[in-house]
Structures are given as C-alpha cells and as structure tokens.
Structure 1
C-alpha cells in the first residue's frame, strides 16, 4: 500500500534559490565563478544515457526532424511560461518543460542559433516566474513534486552535454544546473520510503541518471544509492510477475519502462533483473498487428516499436529488434540505433531474427488481461483489479469488458484515456462503464471491489474459451468469451446474471452501427474492415439504442492516436442473459450470417459452414460433413466421443481420417467414432468395436492423440 500522498514542502533556498557559491560548493569545485564552474563541470561531465549529437546526426532530413522543428516553432513566437489558464491537471504537465526541449533539439538539427536563443530566453523567464505559479490540487506544489522533478530532468539533462559547450550564457547555464540539482534534492528527500505507482519509480530513475552524468556533485553517491534502492523495490513490488506495471495501463507501463531503460543504461543490474525483460514481453503480448497497444484504463494508444528496439539493445535480444522493425521506417530505426553506444556483440545483435509466433491464447494473470488470437482477429479481455493512486485511480469502472481488433484496426473499441484529466467527460464517459463493452446493471457504476474470479481458459485448438465472474454491481455477473479461430472466425460473448433488473449490454465501434436485421447491426468503414453484431434473442424483449461518444483511434500511416466519434449500441432488457455473436469481416459489406437458438444450442450459419455451440461444446459442419468438434470438461461429444471421466477433446476429420486430441485428468475409458487401425499416441492398439464405435483406455493423465478411420 502507499505510504500516503506527497507532502507540500516549504520550498527553501536549497532548491529554488541556489546561488553561485552554493552551486560551486555542491560540485566540490575549486572554481571562483560561474565560468570556472562551467569549465570544471564540462571536464567532469559524463554522457547522458541517450546522447543528442548522435540522434541529431541520424535524424536530420527525416520526417522525425520535421516534427521536432514543428514543435520548436512556437518558441520563436513566444510562450507564456506560467502556463496560465491551462486547467488543473494540464498546468502541472506544462511545467514538465517538454515544450522547451525541442529548442535545443532544433538547434542541434539545424545549427540555427535562434533556437538556442529562445531556449535561453524562455528558461530564464521560467526560472524567474515559477514561484508565482499556484496549482489547484490541495497539498501538491506545481513545480516541486515527483513528476515535475522527473520530467524536467528527462527533458533537460540530455541537453546539458551540448549546452555546457555552447553560446548559452553562464547565468542561464547555471539556472539549468540549479534546476536539475534542486529537483534531485527534492526527490531525494521525498522518496525516503517505498510507495506504489509510477511517480516514485520514474523519479528514482532520473535521480540515478543525474548522479551518473554529474558524478562530481557531492550528493551524487547518496542519490545513486537511494535511487537504486527504490528501483529494486519497484521491480519487485510494482511490476507484476507477468511483466505488467502495477497500474495496469499500457501508457503508464511504457512511461515506466522508458524510465527504467534509462536506468538500465547506467546500472547493468537493472537490465539483468528478470522483471525488466518481462516488461518488454508484456508489450509484445499486447501489441496489435498494426503496431499499437490498446488504450486500456487511463492510457493513450501506445506505439511501442521504439521502446522494443531500445530494449533489444539493453537486453541484447535481436528478436525484439525484429519485432520493432515491423513498424519502424529505416530512418526511424537508424535514428534510435545511433544513440546506442558501441558494444562488442553489436554484430550479433544486428543479425536478423525471426519474429516469434505468439500463442493462440495468453493470460497475463497478475495484470488481469487475457488475449485470444485468431488468424486475423484478436480479443483482449480485462479481468483485473481496481488499483489505487496518489491522486485519482487510473483504473476504469469496468471489468470483463473486451476490445477486438483485426487487420491492424480496432473493430470493437472503448473510450480509453481522456485528452486531459481536466476533461469534463473524464468521470462520466472515459472512466465510466458506459464507455466500455460490458453489461451495466440499473445504470449504476461498478464498485472498486470487483471480486473477479476467472473460472477457466480453455485452448481447444480451433476454439478458445474464457469464462469469469464478478460481483462489482452487487450481484454475480458471468461472462464467457469464445473465439473460433478457423475461418469463418468470430467471437461469441455470453452474459448471465440472475434477478429482475435493467440490464444494458453496451457495444462500441469506430463506425456508425447500421441495422441489417432483427437485433443485427454492422459497423464498417467505407472500405472495411468492419464488425457484424448479432444478438441471439427475441427482439420483442430488447430495446436497442444508438448514441455517440468520443475516443482515440490509431492512425497507422502516422502512428498517432487521434480523437474521433465512438459509436455506441445499447441493448436493454429486464433479464441478464445476452448471447452476442461478433463477426469481423475484411470487406465493406458484412457477410450473410444467420444466428438461431435450437434445442439449447446456438446455431450459426455462414455460407456452407454450420456451427452448433453448446455450453461446453462446439461442432462445425461444412457442406453437411463434420469438419471438427470440440468439447471441454465433457463426458460426451455428440457424434464422436463418450468418456468415463471429464476430458477436453478436439476431433478433426480429414477425408477418411479422424484424429482425437484428448486431455484427461487420470486413467479413463473412451468410446470414439472411428474404425480401422486405431493408434493411441502413435502406437497401434487392440480395440473393441461396436456399431462403428471403438473402445479403448487412456492409461494415465495427460494429453493423448487417437487416430483412426472416420465413420461419418
């Protein structure tokens, strides 16, 4: 648990009024003035983790350089350095000085002295006026708090190397150094004990970074020791064993990992920690084929390619570089690699590597996400806890919600993170269950005590099935998400809750929902891909309503997230049972699909393919012939298998051959619909056959294969 929120400190002269004598003393320098101190620091200065000159050399005349110059252009026109009128949360972010850093970057890219001059002008004015800035968060100073001291160091410290040997005046150079030293002193005092969350962790990484770049500072050794202690604690206590960051948000995960990558450049122990490598794997699990991470919880849409490339260097893992290379242009790849110091094994690191194939189903158990993958389509299901924060939780009030993507694009989407935490819709839309693909009860918000229980994840080869329950609405709600992977591939979501309430199933897409049949709706862009949604229920019992919200959407060509309409379909009824078939499609028109309930089974027909889906079975016929059948925790699978104990089974028919893949918990007897030469685990065995059913025994627990001639 957290030790409590940050304290409002009485800012003394140690921090924001560091004079020349104090600065000289802080460095233990024999210099008598700023010019002498600057020369002394320049002689002692170590290179930052990711140096600017190499980056600038590789970035010139690329689209990335154009973006930096665009970001630096407002500096030439003048900036209100107080951030006046920006709003409660945005005011804090303004004083991270991210807007000021492009001045130095643009100067490095172009050699145009104007950029350096406006950087000097704005930094000088910011230092002179920052004490006048007052925030609206009770007890939290705008300038001297964890994210402020971290972000300013992250923005300014990489520039110190080039600014120390530059036309920048001695006075403003000393202001820059004093700002960094003052922030480090504040961070050292503040973070004397462990606290959960991204604030303390990122702050500790820049404390370590500063101590390494300015080793002659008298306090550097103490800063480094405390920073290493906090970083080690966070890797153990604030990073889950599955690699996810404590707050379960891809945006904050990547922010924390970026900070840890800087620490890993300085301290090999960070790079060697198993949780550090796991954090990279976590992003590989959640990244889409389009190269983006979904905006789960309070997250933006993240593009992790550059982070994975940097991780490939730090971990000496060429596979991560290959994964990153799917989404980076040659110039972007080169610009990132240019900042990596030479290492003896660089040649091995640059060798091509095959991009690993991800498993069909992945569970991130501590983070609380499950990923189901098909040939083109992926589902990400949220079943994690609500996580506290020092100000406001970044956890959304939804659980067992899911998103779908296919062909690199979102298909079923959610509100995600807001443009700003000052947004008036932050609580009522972005954080609310209304902005998520979930079932609301009596229009109430989910409590923070969700009591989620994952019942099972069954990977039956052709089908994956996730089942879980929660009590966040005061009653038990169960949801099963089943994905059939073989084309035609689709997802079936089954919801159940007892009692008479007003239940509303919400479904969100980037394109307007168009009704194409009774309780059938399609959301497709002008050229596809799209999503056909069919609710298998009596239309007379259900009220449908469409509305519009807002959410980020990934723009693949520019790898950015832009806000646009999010189209909502709400299906309301007085009972908590919903069976929703979600059919992704690549084209601009939805496929012809019929959905019916027959004899307690869901029957889905698409062209020549007919699927029958029961509570624990799924069979597929093509052209009237059985293609495959699967069951999980069953004693009987119609047409193909009977067992003396519960088993998981997949039966696949190919011509006149059938193969059963069976997992049992112990010795059990089987009757399979097969004849001819029966093989168990590849070994021919004697069987008793009666009425085209062969009887055999599985001798012990584990996975088995049974092969024979199909008697269809």
Structure 2
C-alpha cells in the first residue's frame, strides 16, 4: 500500500473531529449501554432471531416475513425483505455537497441532484473522477491524504490518532452514490457494496486511536457513517444479496439502539456530537418504521434536537461553539436537513416550524460575519474560505429574506433573482448574545470591515483569545487570526493556533489568558453612519494582576483607532500588542506599512519599548479552500508593565487602496487625539469620566469631530448627555444616548 499526496480540494473533517474526547465507554447506571451483555447481543452482534423479533408483526408484509423467519428460514426471510424493500414506496434522496466538504452537505432529491450537476459540469466531472479512484481503492481518508490501499481496503489502517475516526465516517464514499445517481452505472453500487461488506467483516477488530473512544460505536461515527449506508440502501443495486440485507439491517438496528440508549440515559449534552447522533436516530426511525422501537427512537431524537435548537443557538443566530464556519455550518445543515426529512416523511410539522424560525436568525448572523471578500472568518476552531453561496441562497428562499440576495451578488458574485436588489437594514452589527460585533462601512466588496470577538468560553473549540479582531479593506484581508489547521492532528494546533499570541490581541508575558473564566464585560457599543465604537473589559490575566480594557473607534470610512489600557498590580511584566498580517509590514514614517497594495498603515501613537517581527501559520487568505494554511507575518509592540501607572497602547490602523495612506495621529493629551488625512482633520476625545480640556466639555465616553474643507463639521457622540465647545452648548440630552449631527 502507498500514500499519495494530493493538494487539490480539501476534504473537511475537522467539523466532526474527536480530538477533544468525550468518553463514550462508560455510561449512567440506568443505561443499557452499561450492560455488556446487552451491547454484545442487541447492538454489536445481533442474531437473526433478535433481528426479526425487532420487527412489527402488525404490518401485513412484515407478518409474512416473520412467519418465514419463525421457521428458521432466515435466508429466505432476508430475500423476502429485499423484495419488500425494493417495492416499498418511500422518499429517496442523496447528499450533495460543495467540493466534497463535510460541512456543506444538503439532502436533495435525485432529480434536483441531476439538475445541479447539469448546471455545474465541473462539479460533475470531479464527482466522477473521485468515484473512479474509489473503484480502484484509492481513498481520500482524512484531511488531504489519499491512500492507495491496493487490492483490498484495510479499515484498520492507521491514519493518525483522529484520522481513523474520520475514515470511519465514510463520507469519502459518497461520490460512488452520487455517480450512480448521475449515470445509473451499476459498477458504482457494486463497489460500495464490496466496501460495505469488507467494513462489516472488520468492524469488530478496529483498534482505537483514543482508549476511551470506540471507533465504530461512538456518537459521531454512528451519526455520520450510517447516512452513507442508508443512501446506498435506497439505490437499486441489481446484484444485492441476502447477506447485504442481513448485514445492513443488523448495522442499522444496532446503531439506532446504541444511539437511543445514549440519548435517553445521558440526557442533554451541549456541543455538536449529540446533534449528529440524534439526527441519525431520527432518520433511522423515519426510514425504518418497520422496527417496533422506531416510534420511541423518533420521540427521543426529536426531544433532544429541540433542546439543542433552543439551548445551542443564541438569539442572534450564532451557534454556541462560536466557530463561524465549521460547527455553525455543520449544525445548521443538520437542522436544515432534518427539516427536509420531516417534510418528506410528513411528520413533526411543529418542530419543522421551530427550525425555520430559529435557523432564519443564523442566516442573518452569517451575512453579518461574512467579510467583504465573501470569506467566513477563521475564529476559534473555524476554517477560513469562501462561504458556500448555495447555503445562503437556500436560506434566502427558505426563510424569505430577499436582502440576502443583495449580499450574495456583491460579496460572492452570485446572480440575484430578477427583482430589485435590496440590502440588509443593518451595516455594522452588535451581537452580544454570541459575543461578536462587526464594523462595516457598506455592503460593497471594497468595504472596510472589522470583526471583534469577546464572547464566553464554550468548550474545547474556543481559542485563548479575547478582544481579537480581523480587518478587511478594498477587497483584501489585512489583519487576521490564525484560525485552524487542516485537522486536529496538526502538531501546531495546541501550541500555536489556539494560543493567545496567534491572535490580534494584547498578551502578558506571551502567556495564554485564562479563557474559561474570561469574557468581555461592561460592553459598550454604538453604530452610526460616521462612527462605530466598541469598548469592553476582561480579567483573563487576573492571575498576573492585569485588568484590560480595549476601545475601538471606527471613523468611517477612513481608519480605526485601537486603545488598550492595562491596569497592572506589579511591574516588570511584558505587555505585547499583536497584529498578524498576510502581507509583510515594513518600517515607514509614522509606523509600519504593508509592502503591497491594498495595504494598511499600523501607527503606534504611544511609542512601545520594543518592536518585534515574526512569522506564524494561519488559515490561508490566498487559497480559499477551507483547511488550507500559509505562513503569515506578525508585528509585536512591547512595553514593560508599571504598577500603579498608565499602561497604554494606542494604535492607528489606516487601510489604503493604492498609494500608502497619508494619515497621522498626534496625542494632544491622554484624552484628545488629532488625526489628519489628506482631506480631513478629526479630533477624537476618549474618556471614561467627564472631561473638560478648556475646548471640549462632555460626559460622553467618545466624541469624534470630523472636519473637511468646505463642509460643515460633523460630530459623533457615544453615550453622553451634553457637548460644549469653547463654552457653547452645541448638544444636550436628558438621558445618555449616542447620536450624530452637523455643527451649525
């Protein structure tokens, strides 16, 4: 056997990785999974008698099969079942994905799958090419590794600690099924049948990558692998033997029983694993109502899925694991596909309605988070990459959100329907429930854009980050987070990708902050046509005696000002302000500039004690296939902490399209900054307490006065009740508000 290195389309498996293991070999006292005898005889090694005893005797066609099995004529009974199954009228569908990515799987009718393939001949060719390799036992098993197994596939092949689990998801097999739907060539089904039997014969001898996690009988494996098995079983393979019926029925029954006992006995568990497991339990119940237990399987699965629907998704549409692509997309599509199943099997309309209501919020969340280039941010355990347009198109139609088409047209180049193009009512958006805020200048591809991350810890997929941000401008990524490597087997995953210093944030002694105890507090947000403002505090470095407050001002559409104040209980610690940029930065008058255009000026207003440059890996912005990584640059501004005095970073971030930005900032005082551009002068006042510097008096936390030649001065105020300039009251309010106006 030989391993073939392939760097083409990435097969995304990280969304279902068992890297952070939840032990699934020990169970609650009331669970039958804790009984080895039950697991052995009723799940893993189901006898013929046990299998047929699980069928409903009240169904006429099944009654005849049971009479045959009751005489011990099991081969004849399986053949009769095969005849029944082939004639059974039932919904049939296939999983379609985008470029073989697991987190883009959607259920489609055969007819719709064929129409889509006809519209996208390149996709059709890719499917047939992948299926042709599978017929020769050349399998893309995990990540971007392809293995040529030779004459016989070894399902116990070592493919990395997590890799073996990914291999047993069987998602690599789906091109065989789609190829048959497109061509009706029986050789594709013959190959799947051969592989299924080989797997069945080896399934009890698979060694574990994690001692506490069985490769075959665990939630994600059962929740994903059986999707392919069911879709194969729908298709009319002419040479299907009675042994295939026997083994498929025992596999499906065992999977459903294991999943049911897990979901019943272990209760609601946050995260995506249970969603995948319950989705499969519900699908098995709907596809195989002939099993006596199917009604209870469906009840339990839908109960748990409803719990996740209401507890795992924030009101703003974000998902609890806070990974914009991988886990949000995978769980969203699980519910989208569940809605499809409930519809075609005509069950659970009340639950389908709840799904439509909740998932519509997720569509709004995504269009808020998507960068102007159409990329989804690589925050926490999330790959970067172009967001799949078909997901938003499907959501726009399904949830009746016409403004999504405008976003698709501008950011992803999709052709809008023949109706007037409209855009969302929001441009920038504050989403405190999920812990993200987005500053955006407009809905054009050249827009200036920043996302800010300040949410709660939500399990192992959270990185050691707080107040980190990403910036895009003029169609290019200018500052990004590290994101995630291709898989969790990447040796840099823990020491680099998750680390605090791999994010655009302030670190203390280059140590990771205490993320589990940390979230943004005392958050202030304001958004207007001229000014966006964000401020928050965190105590992630409390163990080192550091309290951090970050303020970000977006003066649209020119620049950002980032102000970090750190209160330190001790002196001598190294405070570091990090920014990671795809383009190198070089020293220039007033700071550091990108060596290519479009670019960005990074201008420290308060001089650091030291400046460092380096490189590190990050989710790629040049190759937008999810999972691709590249080495990028970072700039670090250091200063040594001083107990009891101001420890401050003030950095101007000014993007430019072609020529380097002619922008400079002077600190006229601790609260007054003057920013000059070629055509404007801004006076920015920042203060946590009422200020009066002899010229400006206000109780607002932020005031921006913008002046351009020949135009009235424009003022933006954040959370204030008054503004006086040179002793003259120019604005007043009875309660603290944010507002914008022109000076008379």
TM range (shorter): 0.7 to 0.9
Equivalent in the alignment of 2:25: 7
- CA distance in 1 between counterparts of 2:673 and 2:190 reads 70
Identify if the C-alpha distance between structure 1 residues 18 and 694 changes in structure 2 by more than 3 Å, giving closer, same or farther. closer
Q: Which runs of 5+ in 2 are unaligned?
A: 1-19, 27-32, 57-61, 69-76, 94-106, 138-148, 343-347, 642-646
2:299 aligned with 1:241, yes or no?
no
Distance 1:529 1:72, change over 3 A: farther
Relative distance call for 1:554 and 1:502 in structure 2 (3 A) is closer
Map 1:216-615 to 2 at 5 A: 216-250=290-324, 251-265=326-340, 266=342, 267-273=348-354, 274-301=357-384, 303-320=387-404, 323-324=407-408, 352=419, 354-357=421-424, 359-375=426-442, 376-388=447-459, 393-447=460-514, 448-474=516-542, 475-486=546-557, 488-498=558-568, 499-500=570-571, 501-517=573-589, 520-525=591-596, 528-538=597-607, 541-554=608-621, 560-575=626-641, 576-587=647-658, 589-600=659-670, 601-615=672-686
SS of corresponding position for 2:682: strand
Indicate the RMSD between aligned Cα atoms, in angstroms: 3.4
Q: CA deviation at 1:633?
A: 8.4
Q: For residues 554 and 22 of structure 1, do their structure 2 counterparts lie closer, same or farther at Cα, with a shift above 3 Å needed?
A: farther
Shift of 1:268: 3.2
Distance 1:460 1:56, change over 3 A: closer
Q: Is the 1:545–1:569 Cα contact (8 Å) retained in structure 2?
A: yes
The separation in 1 between residues aligned to 2:359 and 2:436, in whole angstroms, is: 19
CA distance in 2 between partners of 1:658 and 1:607 (Å): 16
Equivalent in the alignment of 2:144: none
* SS at structure 2 position matched to 1:298: coil
Name the structure 1 match of 2:136. 77
Q: Cα distance, 1:642 vs. partner?
A: 5.9
Taking structure 1 as the reference length, what is the TM-score of the superposition? 0.81
Q: 1:326 to 1:68 in 2, by over 3 A?
A: farther
CA distance in 1, matches of 2:697, 2:458: 46
In structure 2, do the counterparts of structure 1 residues 108 and 435 end up closer, same or farther at CA, with 3 Å as the change threshold? same
SS in structure 2 at match of 1:207: helix
In the alignment, the residues of structure 1 paired with residue 683 and residue 741 of structure 2 have an alpha-carbon distance, to the nearest angstrom, of 23
Preserved contact between residue 322 and residue 355 of structure 1 (Cα < 8 Å): yes
Please report how far the alpha carbon of residue 169 of structure 1 lies from its aligned counterpart in structure 2 after TM superposition: 3.7
CA contact (8 A) 1:661 1:705 kept: yes
**SS across alignment from 2:171:** coil
2:673–2:683: 8 Å Cα contact kept in structure 1? yes
TM-score by length of 2: 0.78
> Corresponding residue for 1:201?
275
Contact 1:50/1:158 (8 A) holds in 2: no
User: CA 1:83–1:324 in 2, change beyond 3 Å: closer, same or farther?
Assistant: farther
**2-structure distance, mates of 1:381, 1:270:** 34
Instruction: Show the counterpart of 2:126.
Output: 67
Going from structure 1 to structure 2, the CA distance change for 1:605 and 1:215 (only over 3 Å counts) comes to same
Query: CA deviation digits over 1:358-402, x for unaligned, max 9?
Result: 5243222121111111241111111111123xxxx1110111111
Give CA-to-partner distance per residue, 1:237-284, whole Å, 9 cap, x none: 222222211111121011100001111221433342233322222212
Tell me how far 1:460 sits from its aligned partner: 4.5
Quickly say closer, same or farther: Cα 1:271–1:301, change in 2 above 3 A: farther
Deviations 1:479-508 (A, max 9, x none): 11111113x344434343434211111111
Q: Are the counterparts in 2 of residues 370 and 380 from structure 1 also a CA contact under 8 Å?
A: yes
- Helix, strand or coil: the match of 1:12? helix
Query: How much does 1:604 deviate?
Result: 2.8
Q: 2:83 aligns with which of 39, 43, 46?
A: 39
Residue number in structure 2 paired with 1:684: none
Determine whether 1:130 maps to 2:200.
no
The aligned counterpart of 1:211 is 285
Q: Does 1:90 align with 2:163?
A: yes
Q: Distance in 2 between matches of 1:379 and 1:702?
A: 24
Residue 101 of structure 2: aligned partner = none
Give distance in 2, aligned partners of 1:223 and 1:602. Answer: 64
Deviation, 1:532, is: 2.2
Residue 66 of structure 1: SS of its match in structure 2?
helix
Residues 642, 671 of structure 1: 8 Å contact kept: yes
Q: Contact 2:575–2:638 (CA<8 Å) still a contact in 1?
A: yes
Return the alpha-carbon distance in structure 2 between the equivalents of residues 599 and 649 of structure 1.
Answer: 14
Question: What are the ranges of 5 or more consecutive residues in structure 1 without an aligned counterpart?
Answer: 334-349, 617-631, 674-690
Inter-partner Cα distance in structure 1 for 2:701 and 2:599: 36
Instruction: Provide the residue aligned with 1:682 in structure 2.
Output: none
- 1:614 partner SS: strand
Residues 455 and 519, structure 2, Cα contact 8 Å, conserved in 1: no
1:394-425 Cα distance to aligned partner (Å, 9 max, x none):
11011111111224432101111222212211
Q: Shift of the alpha carbon at 1:325?
A: 5.8
Question: 1:555·1:561 contact (CA, 8 Å) conserved in 2?
Answer: no
Provide the C-alpha distance between the structure 2 equivalents of 1:602 and 1:289, rounded to a whole number of angstroms: 29
| SS of residue matched to 1:476 | strand
Q: Distance in 2 between matches of 1:567 and 1:647?
A: 34
Instruction: Tell me how far 1:636 sits from its aligned partner.
Output: 6.5
Match of 1:483, SS state, is strand
- Hey, what's the Cα distance between the residues in 2 that align with 1:697 and 1:293? 41
Deviation at 1:435, TM superposition (A): 0.9
The 5 A counterparts of 1:46-61 are 46-48=91-93, 49-60=107-118
Moved more, 420-429 or 81-90: 81-90
User: CA, structure 1 residues 70+609, in 2 after alignment: closer, same or farther (shift >3 Å)?
Assistant: farther
Paired residue secondary structure (2:162): helix
Deviation (angstroms), 1:652: 7.2
Given that 2:457 and 2:519 are in contact with CA atoms closer than 8 Å, whether structure 1 keeps it comes out as no
Measured in 1, the distance between the counterparts of 2:715 and 2:550 equals 28
Deviations 1:100-124 (A, max 9, x none): 1111112222334332222222121
SS class of match (2:108): coil
Greater mean alpha carbon deviation, residues 275-284 or residues 218-227: 275-284
